[in-house]
Amino acid sequence: MSDSKPIIELRHVDKSFGPFQALTDINFSVRPGERVVVCGPSGSGKSTMIRCINQLETHDAGSITVDGIELGDDTSDIRAVRQEVGMVFQQFNLFPHLTVLENLTIGPIRVRKMGKAAAEALARNYLERVHIPEQADKYPSQLSGGQQQRVAIARSLCMEPRIMLFDEPTSALDPEMIGEVLEVMVELANTGMTMVCVTHEMGFARRVADTMVFMEGGRIVEVAPPEEFFTNPKSNRARMFLDQILEH
């Protein structure tokens, strides 16, 4: 596994918002099947980095290659990559005017050009996987936060992506609902899915991560296996950060 070709590769990536440099010289790669957890203080550029992977943000310099496609100005390339890369947002971003089932099938039907019946079968299968098969005909607003986030995960999975990105998927949830979402994510990790998760759930990180990435000030400060990262972080920054969040 360690010598297989990277499925995501960022080289010397820079990104600015106006005068503010959000990412500086990001070098980072992910192998197929690898589970990467990204952490770091708020504003350190974690979201910006993973949003560059599916080009919700465009990078200013450097190169990003996903599944063999180098991301540039070609919109059809970007769409091709987005079909292979699922994304789960902090705020769920379910489509409120569509039922749960429609939220799940719209991608397969409109993007993958799948038939309606096949798409629904697929959607029900993934709803089963996230443990809410009975909510198919409800609207997102009728579900709890934890259920909504699991629908959002299922919506991404319905596109049968090779890579899943998570941007603080549990940060907007009430504490009692965090567990059910993490459980689904652990199950997903166990299927061998390539995952990049921005999260501060260190228990989850310990359980599933192959690699920890620590960011600060728009730079990657440390990349290490979790045992090493949690017990003996190389950088002072990471140590201080861990002390802070593990206190709770």
Partner 1 sequence: MRQKRFKLHWLDYVIAAVVIAFAAVIWFRISGALNYKWQWDRIPNYILRWDADDGRWYANLLLQGLINTIRIALYSSVLALVLGTVLGIARTANNLAIRMLARTYLEVLRNIPPVVVVFIFFFFLSEQLISALNMESWARGIARQDDIAVWEFFFGDMRRFPSLISGVIVLALFESAFVGEIVRAGIQSVGRGQREAARSIGMTWVDEMRFIVLPQALRRVLPPMSNQFISLVKDSSIISLISVQELTYKTVELVASTRMIFEAWITTACLYFILCFGLSLLFRRLETSAPKH
Ligand X SMILES: Nc1ncnc2c1ncn2[C@@H]1O[C@H](COP(=O)(O)OP(=O)(O)O)[C@@H](O)[C@H]1O
Separation CA 132–CA 154 (nearest Å) = 10
106 binds, among partner 1, Mg ion, ligand X, none (CB under 5 to 8 A by kind): partner 1
Q: Which residues contact 20 (CB under 8 A, 6 or more apart)?
A: none
User: Least distance in Å: CB of 216 to Mg ion?
Assistant: 13
The reply on whether position 110 binds partner 1 by CB under 8 A is: yes
CB-nearer residue toward ligand X: 114 or 172 = 172
DSSP state of 76: H
With CB under 6 A as the contact rule, the residue among 8, 10, 47, 197 that binds ligand X is 47
Separation CA 123–CA 104 (nearest Å) = 6
The reply on whether position 156 binds partner 1 by CB under 8 A is: yes
Alpha carbon distances (Å) from 169 to 65, 105, 164, 243: 24, 21, 12, 22
With CB under 6 A as the contact rule, the residue among 13, 48, 127, 233 that binds ligand X is 48
Q: What's CA 77's distance to the chain center, in Å?
A: 20
59 binds, among Mg ion, ligand X, partner 1, none (CB under 5 to 8 A by kind): none
Size of the site for partner 1 (CB under 8 A): 26
User: Least distance in Å: CB of 166 to Mg ion?
Assistant: 11
The H or E element that residue 64 is part of is: strand 61-66
User: Least distance in Å: CB of 168 to ligand X?
Assistant: 7
Stretch touching Mg ion by CB under 5 A, among 41-49, 144-152, 179-187, 222-230: 41-49
Q: 230: number of CA atoms within 13 Å, CB side?
A: 17
Site for ligand X, rule CB under 6 A: 17, 20, 22, 40, 42-48
